[in-house]
A and B are shown apart, each in its own frame.
Chain A
Amino acid sequence: MPQLRTGLNHSRETGCTIRPNRLDVRGKFVTIRKHAYEGAMVDGISEDESHDAQTRPLHSHPRERTAPLLSPLERRPLVASVPALRLVGIRKRFGPRWILRDVSLDVGEGECVALLGPNGAGKTTLLRIAATVSRPDGGNIEVCGVDARKHPERARSFLSFLPQTAPLYAELTAREHLGWWGRMHDVAVGKDLVDAALVDAGLLKHARSRATALSRGQRQRLSLAMAFLPSPRLLLLDEPFAALDVEGRAWVEQRLMARRGLGATLVASHEPETIMRIAHRALRVADARVEAMA
């Protein structure tokens, strides 16, 4: 019975990224159990055990006890995976001004890519288009192989997006935000899982505080915790370090480092020193174009 850790291998021969925990050594499909909360992956189990696994807890830790099985979408065998995000010929303009012109980029599975550039360069627009919340004037968007313009809901099931403004509802508490967002992403969020997310974000003592009672940094932490909660295949972050204190920045850095090799991340930031410690590569957005940085 294979007991493979979650991780990605890159094949130099085929140029494809594979998820070894999805297939055992004989090529048999393996059902893995993944913790719903970002970065807490547990060992895979074989297909024979998958039924039993639904009825018994795997681990004694409360975070792991509530771990749901993968959704049917995630459970599909991924042998030779496509990029987590592929943008081809994206064009966008506001009025007469072109914000993005024929922008193409790939973000591979497990890859962390930084988007750098001056204010107004189009980083946020590019992220919003990738997150399918903004419609491009032309070009194609593929999220994990799904055409996002034809099947937006399916594409969104693979991604999680943190907008620039840390959007929260004034009437909902921190705990309610996490629970609601997890359920919207079809994650079985129990109290333990939400508690784990709150502890991780350093917000446990503010669990019952409404969003209006939180400071700007705490709101940013809560928004980040919401983005991390569904363990997305593609994470899109717009200025994740904004308004965070030193501890908060270290937390985000640690979380993004933990994602490397597990899920794709595209981060727009104005802090090149910080983001370049995390990212595999950086892209510069300027003059409506995107170009690779050395």
Chain B
Amino acid sequence: MSFRHALWKDARREMRGKEGVQAGLVLVGLFFVVFLFAHGDLSREPAAAAVVLWVPIVFAAAAVAGRGFAAEADRGTLDLLRSAPAPLVVHGVSRTLIDLAIGAIVMAGTVVLARFLFNVPVSVPLLVLLLVALVGIIVVGSIAGALASQARARELLLPILMVPLLAPLLLGGVRATLVLLDDRGSQSWGPAVMVLVGYDLVMAGLAWLLWPIVLEGD
């Protein structure tokens, strides 16, 4: 029950504020503007196409996931959540789902821009791969963001926490993207996605265990 109410509150805040979507899309837009000066058609350049897809998604997802609990900490509402008679994991999972929804919107914007501005060949397997990767990025980013939000140097701490944890996902995801864009073997994308799904499940399980500790007061 309390999860539904926590989710309602987070969704209402995001729908009214739109800060997450705006921040993510602006970041993606800026990246594409800069990239436009250097590149044109990327349909025959899989490495550059992978960069066009992954860099804005990773940066925007990290920015989105990092700001959720930072806002709560800044406004002092974290104490309100801590004093509510609900398991602390409820607030973490609720925030993660909202971040995931925002990340999906940002990812959709990235894919559309990549397709129209750089002629990146977008396929269903590629979308599935990016979506599965996005889940992992958001799960890790949300909990790292919550940890960093209670520190002084949160902008510094967030990438330090996120990058090592995301390294396996980025490595596997970018390689699988190269395979898909290279059009050499569409049959080989399945195992890569399964590895990413496994990563997502492990991280989601860890996050479930860590949320109460991360959100507990000082």
A residues near B, CB below 8 A? 128, 131-135, 153-154, 156-157, 159-161, 163, 165-172, 176, 180-181, 183-186, 210
Contact = CB atoms under 8 A, between A and B. Distances in A.
Nearest to A156: B85
B85 to A, nearest CB: 4
A165 B217 contact: no
Interface string B184-214: 0000000000000000000000000000000
B76 A163 contact: yes
Contacts of A168: 75, 77
B39 interface: no
Contacts of A181: 80, 84
B84 A184 contact: yes
Contacts of B13: 169, 171-172
A47 to B, nearest CB: 26
B85 A169 contact: no
Contacts of B77: 167-169
B87 interface: yes
A153 B79 contact: no
B186 to A, nearest CB: 44
A134 B78 CA distance: 11
Contacts of A180: 5, 8-9
A84 to B, nearest CB: 15
Interface in B1-58: 1-2, 5-6, 8-9, 12-13, 16-17
A92 to B, nearest CB: 10
A160 B83 CA distance: 7
Interface of B: 1-2, 5-6, 8-9, 12-13, 16-17, 75-80, 82-87, 216-218
Given A165-B76, A171-B16, A172-B9, A135 B216 contact: yes
Nearest to B218: A134
Nearest to A183: B5
A176 to B, nearest CB: 7
22 contacts: A131-B82, A131-B83, A132-B82, A133-B82, A133-B83, A135-B216, A153-B85, A159-B83, A160-B83, A161-B80, A163-B79, A163-B80, A166-B76, A167-B77, A169-B9, A170-B17, A170-B75, A172-B13, A180-B5, A180-B8, A180-B9, A184-B2
A123 B76 CA distance: 17
Given A167-B75, A168-B77, A170-B17, A185 B85 contact: yes
B120 to A, nearest CB: 35
Contacts of B218: 134-135
Contacts of B216: 135
Contacts of A171: 12-13, 16-17
B79 A184 contact: no
A124 to B, nearest CB: 10
Nearest to A176: B12
A156 B13 CA distance: 24
Given A134-B218, A176-B12, 13 more contacts: A128-B79, A128-B217, A133-B83, A135-B217, A163-B76, A166-B76, A167-B80, A170-B17, A172-B9, A184-B5, A184-B6, A184-B86, A185-B84
B76 A167 contact: yes
